[in-house]
Each structure stands twice: as structure tokens, then as C-alpha cells.
Amino acid sequence: MLRRSLGRTGLTVSVPGLGCMGMSEFYGPADEAASRDALAGALDLGYDFLDTADTYGLGHNETLLGRFLAGRRDRVVVATKFGIVRRADSAERRIDNTPAYIASACDASLRRLGLDTIDLYYCHRRNPETPLAETVGAMARLVEQGKVRALGLSEVSPETLRAAHAIHPIAAVQSEYSLWSRGPEDGMLETCRDLGVTFVAYSPLGRGFLTGAIDPDRLAAGDFRKGNPRFQGAALAQNRRLLAGLGAIAERRGATPAQVALAWLVSRAPEVVPIPGARRRARLAENAAAVDLVLTPGEIAELDALFSPGAVAGARYAEGGTAGIEVL
């Protein structure tokens, strides 16, 4: 398994890592037995970078990982997040970056995960109503207290990253990045390189679309992609044309579309660590094998042109889903 540095922490992590969100919600019903099997399969394959958040399943995802990690703590680097506050009885959410909330959220995550220390603790979304110095200062106190090893930010601008890094070293920034979401190429990757910050790419397979293995017309009830603009109407038709081009390249290489998409992402910069989600062992093995696929310069240029900025139709999120995202 390929390994890359986690900022300047001295830690290295597997490439790819594993996004665990889908094991709790958003992509259909949770199946704890299947999730535990997938997690065990991930460790067997060499994955050791597990990504969760307190909001995934309203704490369910952290609890799931906590049960799994018993006796396995020394084999993994665990990342979780705070900041998106939801309630079980409401679809509304708010963004909380206040120091008091950060302290309580960290303690709650530690309990659910069954850990003494979180390896990487992200601010999941930024609320500008709380001064950045207060938010990062509260996160830094968690490091001083031994509750957190390293700090991260999610979906922030390069300017916010530089300002935060000046207050306390930031190990990683997490944002959506894939062939069909290329916003981080507009300054963020360069900023990460300048500061020695790892860029963690979530949804590196376009929420499953780039695998070519899902039928957007047959998504399960409760799958949030049913309301995602890129999976609807004319936008979906355009994006299917792009997927066909990706599939043609994959066929020429004897690979899957997912492997080509991940290989492209890994080639972008040594700071990039994709964390595709997966709930089955077979998908985990497919994704892990992608790092062995070396694309030619011509293939990379072909993919760049096919998925050029503006070619993908539809917004990343439905209206109301962009709160706390600084760069769309």
C-alpha cells in the first residue's frame, strides 16, 4: 500500500484511506455486520487511515468505529470532525465553532470512539461568526491536553488555511476533490504544498458516480444523491457522457473507471490522500489496487480535457447544503 505523510506530524497514512460516512447514513440503510466486515477487510488490505465525524449518523459512525477499534488501536490513524450540529427530530443543522462546543464535542467523540487521543481532529465546517483565532485556539488546547495529536480544517479557503496555520500548525485540509470536482486546483493544492499540509480528498469517486457501478435512476430510499443536482435531469445526461469517456480509457488500460479516477487523483500531487468510501471488501480491494496504476502523460491530459472545469453539470450540493463551505 502506498503511504504519504500526514502534514509534518511524523505520521504516515495509507493511500487510499477509508471514508466511513456511508456505513451510517446518506447512501441507504446501515448494516453494522457488513460494515464491521468491511473495516476488517480494510485493515487486511493495508488501509490504516479511517475518517469519520461526530455528525455521521448522529454519533453512530464514531460508535461503530469505537466498537471495531477495540484491540486494534495501534493499527490505525483515526480522523474525526466537529462543527456540524444536527438533531434526530429535525432536518435542520447549524455550524458551531465556539470554544465551549469544541471542548464538549471532542470529549463526546473520545467516548464514542473509545480513545484517549484522536489522531487528527478537523473543524468540519467554518462559522465566520466565531473568530478563527478562537476556534483554532480551542483546538490547540486539545493538543496541549493530549486529547488530539494534530489539527485539520475542512472546506476552507487557502486564505483561511494560511491564517489558521499561523496560529497553530495545521496537518491536513479536507475538501471534495475528484475528476468532477476540481476546485482545489485553484490555489488550495499550492497552498498545502507551501505549508507542508496534507490534502485529504473526500468523495474522490464523485459520490460513487465515477465508478460506473451505480444507477442514479435506482437509488435507494434515503440516499441523499436522489436530491443532488449532478444526479438529476439534463445534468445527469451530460455527466453520463463524461463517464462514458472515463470508461473508454479504463477499458483500454484493463482497469475499472474507479481505478482510473483514483490513479488520476494520486498523480496530482504528493500531498493528496484520497479517502473513498466503501462498504464491501471487493470495492476496498479495487480501490487499493488503483495506486499501482500509473497513467501516461497522454492519458492524464485526456482526462484533464474530458473533465475540464465547467464540463461537469450541476452543483456539488443541493440548495442549503453549502453552509460552512468557503469555496464552491
Which residues are known catalytic residues? Answer: 56
Residues 6+ apart with CB under 8 A from 111: none
Determine how β-strand 118-123 pairs with β-strand 198-202. Answer: unpaired
Q: Give SS3 for 151.
A: strand
C-alpha distances out from residue 108 to 84, 185, 199, 262, Å: 14, 35, 26, 34
Using N-to-C axis directions, what is the helix angle for 99-113 and 132-144, rounded to 10°? 40
- Please say whether the beta carbons of 74 and 42 come within 8 A: no
Evaluate the omega torsion of the peptide bond into residue 257 and state whether it is cis, within 30 degrees of 0.
no
Q: Give SS3 for 94.
A: strand
Angle formed at CA 207 by CA 202 and CA 210, multiple of 5 degrees: 105
Q: What is the 3-state secondary structure (H, E, C) of 246-261?
A: HHHHHHHHCCCHHHHH
Longest pairwise C-alpha distance within the chain: 54
- Please say whether the beta carbons of 28 and 223 come within 8 A: yes
Residues 6+ apart with CB under 8 A from 243: 209, 210, 212, 257
